[in-house]
Amino acid sequence: MDNTNLTKIKGQTPISIIVHGGNYTSFLLAKTLLEQGSHVVIIDKYTNSSKQYFTDLKKTGKVSFIDFKGLKSFYEKIARIDYLYYMLGQKVEDNGHFDSKDFLAETDYLNSSLTAANKYKAKISLVTSMRLNRELANRVNNEVTGKTKPYSPLELQRYGENFAAEFVDKTKANLRIIRLGTLLGKRINNITDSILDKLFTDSTQKHQIEIEGEGLELHNLIHESDAIYGILKLTFTDDTKGEVISLCNRNDYSTLSLAYKLLELDVEARAIKFVEKQSTDTVLQDLYVPAPNAEQFGWKQNVSLEESIIEQIQAYYEKSDKKWDADKVNNIKKYKAQDNIATTSKTKLGRFVYNITAPFRKLGNPKDVISTLNYTTILRNITITSLSLLVIYFLIAPIIGITLGSALIYKDSKTLRDSLEELNFDKLQQSTSNISSNISRVENNLNRIYWVFKLTNGVNEYRNINQIVEGTGYAMDSAQDLVVGLRPLGEYIKDFEPAVGFGEEKQNSREYTEYLKAIDDNQYSVKEGIYKMSLAQNLIDSVDTKDIPKFLQEYVLQYKDLINDVNTTVKPLEKVTQFLPDLLGVNERKRYLILTQNEGEIRSTGGWISTYAIVAIEGGQIREMFVDDIYNGDGALKLQGVTHKTPNSMIRALADVPYTFSLVNWDPNLDNVMLSAEQFIYDLGKGNEIDGLITMDTLFLEKLLDKWEGIEVPGETELITSSNLYTKIFEMQTEFMPTSTRKSIFLTDLTNEILTKVLSSKLVDYRDIGDILEESLTEKHIQVTFKNSTAKSYTDSMGWDGNIDSKYQNTPVNIDWNWGANKANLYIKKNHTLDIDIKDENTIDYKYQIAIQNDSTSNEFPQGEYVNYVRVLLPSSANIMSIKGLKDNKYDVYNEYGYKVVGGWFNTPIKETSTLEISYRILRDESGLSFPLVKTDTHFDMDINIYKQPGSKKDAYNLSLKFPETWEIEESEGMTRIENNVNRRLELSSDQYFNLSWKR
């Protein structure tokens, strides 16, 4: 055989080398290896006896033969060794005598083989004879027999085992020593154990079995197939690395016991005869301790001793040309051939696939399948599978699902937050959709484990948790709808490029009509979103946190607050999306009037008007911006000879003062001011109509300047900041009469610059001034009203329009009008005191005091006497009992704006304090539905709405209410209760609301 072929062997074909392979045991081993697909290399002397084995093996598979002479060159050339079986035991048992040359040669072969195998990290098995090892041990332990002869089989074997052990220590080779028992089998013609050989020979050829001595020698036996199976199994198992193992049947047998067994088997011999032992080396006591049996490493004896003996007897009968009927021997179990001794050719994946396809291969033999069907096993397997699936579906999978879902929701919610900040709608839609889907999945999973809560009496916990999940689901569905609905608005905000700019900045004239129309079209999504959010809020708010596990309660409470806040935020969006497109000029151009008011000189709607501006918006883009001094307007109208009818109440207060554009804010209701101003604008030729009115005072401008850290104003050498603003204002306006034309170029230019800066910003930048805008709207430093009814209703509901609605009839409303041509309002302190005395369910007395302290130190502008025409608005049905403190005790009482108005001059000189007091009574019979005390079947309810005049500072307000002693108060949130009195001290920074309730 051409040995160079060994380099071309595929990687998946293992290479097994058997040294001393020319014997029966090695033949069986090689045959098995070949059947398993291995490539086998036999190394031995080429003799007549070994030749027969080689010829048989060639027919079986890929086998190579190497003589010992070519051993070393073979090891040099071979590309790979996977397994090495060194059959030393067979060698020493077959050859009874060795000389030194043989000994040395054998040690050399052993050394070369081990070195070569270890080089390729092969698995190595040194197979020795257990019989010789027992004999060696007994000799060593027995003083009489003493030492062994040099170059004897015993010594060779001992040397081989010691060498192998040292080799392992040095090189950590994957080597094990297998001590093989005496083989029995149907093709073994001569048992290597001479005693046993005589036993079997005698039993098959003589009438009696002769036993030398007492027959107490012990023998370790093994069937040939068990031996081969054992060698292979022990070699392949990594657990046997470095071990010495006894491969034999678990029990050892004495000569005598074996002889008895032979007699039982219907052999020729019929008796046992004991003869004197001829040899002198009798072992007095067998002290041999064998190495651990192969059973400890997973090997199992498959062939029973009886079967082995039967086969061996048959072999001996055949050897002596006699016939022996083995069937006569009953009740011997047939052994099964080892099919799968080793599966060296399959990889793990191959084995896996082989196992998976095993059922399909079996289908090729349906008869075998049917015959091996076990219905009990099938039923058991089906039951186990079904139960397992049920447990997984109803317990394990839901728990894993809820955990997985929660993790995914958490991850997506982070993405959601980022996308919201970036106004990335695609990501927003994706995130909300993902979260919504995952919540629905979590809900499904939660439903599947309802039975667990029911079993553990946790139905209430389940309901509450389910409510939270359901509510969150609604919240996410809402978010999805809101994203769809508000997307056009968001994109408008993101894409908006103003047409207004500073100086020569490039201006964009793009319109955004398509965005505005899309806002309109998507309203239903917004409505749906708000509906679902209110459902979510309702569900989550009604969760009873006491029924939630303690460690979650804090989070649930926080979550409730969050949902409430979100619901409050999104609720107005329905109305906003309804009117916003119209306000932004989706169908036609919209004009808005902006008035700048100076609250240092207070007027009805906030302050003295210095500047007016017209801003026109069409298609979402600013189309016009015109800013001018109000007195330019007055002047133009005066030149044209245009006059306007002065309101009667203004005539009462200011006599012949003409009703000019600068005094258009006489009426405290912004809606009325808008309608009046529209006429002025029309007369000025600035437009046929205005669609909305916005007022802003200098306090708001101051806040903006503070935020922006100043602004450049044409004509000013220094940056205008919040610190020098008022100084600049005062510079311009000295020594004027209230009716003087007080041109304020500075304020006009400032307003122009501020409006330009605001309107030229991208809408996204409004976030920076968002807080200022919100605060200013609440505190009435900015007011807005529109003609669009939905927008008007919205601003009214938010309290941004400054109108004195009927709800303020429950408390007196104070409107100041500074007519001193100074900024005395910056130097006064005002204190309101309102005492309400509920006499009975039909009678309420009010006593209202206003105390003004003028801290001006001189009459020099901007300080001075606070010349104030005050109007106090009372319920129209009020019965005035007393009025004290007005100048010369002169006052007017008339009906206007749905109120009874008390007007008069309430002046406060410098460094003095003035007090105004009005007392009045209201009766149920006279008030009708507007009587503040509402009577229901079970309660008395009273709303107290306190109006803050726009432009006024944070006046101190003391409210106290007295009620009958017999009444039991139930609700008085925000007020301090003492017996039958409730009171509250506050700073009137914005409109205030209190609700009181008594049990009847």
**Residue 535 in contact with another protein, rule: CB under 8 A:** yes
For residues 848 and 197, what is the distance between their CA atoms, to the nearest angstrom?
135
The stretch near another protein (CB under 8 A) out of 242-250, 532-540, 547-555, 904-912 is 532-540
Least Å distance, CB 398 to another protein, is: 8
The residue among 766 and 894 lying less far from another protein, judged by its C-beta, is 894
**What tokens does 554 get?**
């804090």
Residue 984 CA to its chain's centroid (Å): 48
**Residue 459 in contact with another protein, rule: CB under 8 A:** yes
Q: Is 984 helix (H, G, I), strand (E, B) or coil?
A: strand
The binder of another protein chosen from 107, 208, 430, 534 (CB under 8 A): 534
What residues from 201 to 220 belong to the interface with another protein (CB under 8 A)? none
Nearest to 919 by CA among 804, 829, 833, 819: 833
Least Å distance, CB 521 to another protein, is: 10
**Residue 473 in contact with another protein, rule: CB under 8 A:** no
Amino acid in the structure at residue 523:
Q
Least Å distance, CB 547 to another protein, is: 13
The binder of another protein chosen from 50, 192, 203, 445 (CB under 8 A): 445
What residues from 574 to 593 belong to the interface with another protein (CB under 8 A)? 578
The residue among 281 and 521 lying less far from another protein, judged by its C-beta, is 521
**From start to end of 138-201, where are the E strands?**
174-180, 182-184
**Residue 531 in contact with another protein, rule: CB under 8 A:** yes
Question: For residue 318, what are the contacts with CB-CB under 8 A and spacing of at least 6?
Answer: none
The binder of another protein chosen from 61, 213, 635, 647 (CB under 8 A): 647
Least Å distance, CB 807 to another protein, is: 14
The binder of another protein chosen from 14, 896, 947, 969 (CB under 8 A): 896
Residue with tokens 């002047």: 635
Number of residues that bind another protein (CB under 8 A): 36
**What tokens does 216 get?**
């107490």
The binder of another protein chosen from 901, 918, 944, 959 (CB under 8 A): 901
For residues 37 and 35, what is the distance between their CA atoms, to the nearest angstrom?
5
The residue among 369 and 651 lying less far from another protein, judged by its C-beta, is 651
What residues from 401 to 440 belong to the interface with another protein (CB under 8 A)? 401, 404-405
For residues 633 and 859, what is the distance between their CA atoms, to the nearest angstrom?
30
Pairing assessment for the beta strands 39-43 and 15-19 based on DSSP bridges: parallel
* Torsion angles phi and psi, residue 154, rounded to 5: -65, -45
The binder of another protein chosen from 24, 462, 957, 963 (CB under 8 A): 462
Contact 671, 898 (CB under 8 A): no
**What tokens does 138 get?**
């007994």
Contact 261, 329 (CB under 8 A): no
The residue among 258 and 540 lying less far from another protein, judged by its C-beta, is 540
**Residue 518 in contact with another protein, rule: CB under 8 A:** no
The stretch near another protein (CB under 8 A) out of 214-222, 534-542, 548-556, 731-739 is 534-542
Pairing assessment for the beta strands 174-180 and 992-999 based on DSSP bridges: unpaired
Least Å distance, CB 972 to another protein, is: 22
Q: Is 989 exposed, middle or buried (0-12, 13-18, 19+ CB in 10 A)?
A: middle
Least Å distance, CB 450 to another protein, is: 6
Cross-sheet strand order for the sheet of 590-598: 621-629, 608-618, 590-598, 692-697, 782-786
The binder of another protein chosen from 296, 385, 564, 648 (CB under 8 A): 648
Cross-sheet strand order for the sheet of 992-999: 933-935, 939-946, 992-999, 968-971
The binder of another protein chosen from 466, 833, 980, 989 (CB under 8 A): 466
**Residue 441 in contact with another protein, rule: CB under 8 A:** yes
Residue with tokens 């051993």: 71
**What tokens does 728 get?**
């600049």
DSSP 856-922: --SSSTT---B-BEEEEEEETT-EEEEEE-SGGG--EEEEETTEEEEEEE--B-TT-EEEEEEEEEE
**Residue 649 in contact with another protein, rule: CB under 8 A:** yes
Least Å distance, CB 535 to another protein, is: 6
The binder of another protein chosen from 142, 429, 538, 721 (CB under 8 A): 538
* Torsion angles phi and psi, residue 437, rounded to 5: -65, -45
Least Å distance, CB 649 to another protein, is: 4
For residues 393 and 41, what is the distance between their CA atoms, to the nearest angstrom?
56
The binder of another protein chosen from 260, 274, 354, 393 (CB under 8 A): 393
**Residue 392 in contact with another protein, rule: CB under 8 A:** yes
The residue among 274 and 894 lying less far from another protein, judged by its C-beta, is 894
Residues that bind another protein (CB under 8 A): 392-393, 396-397, 400-401, 404-405, 441, 444-445, 447, 450, 459, 462-463, 466-467, 524, 528, 531, 534-535, 538-539, 542, 578, 647-649, 894-898, 901
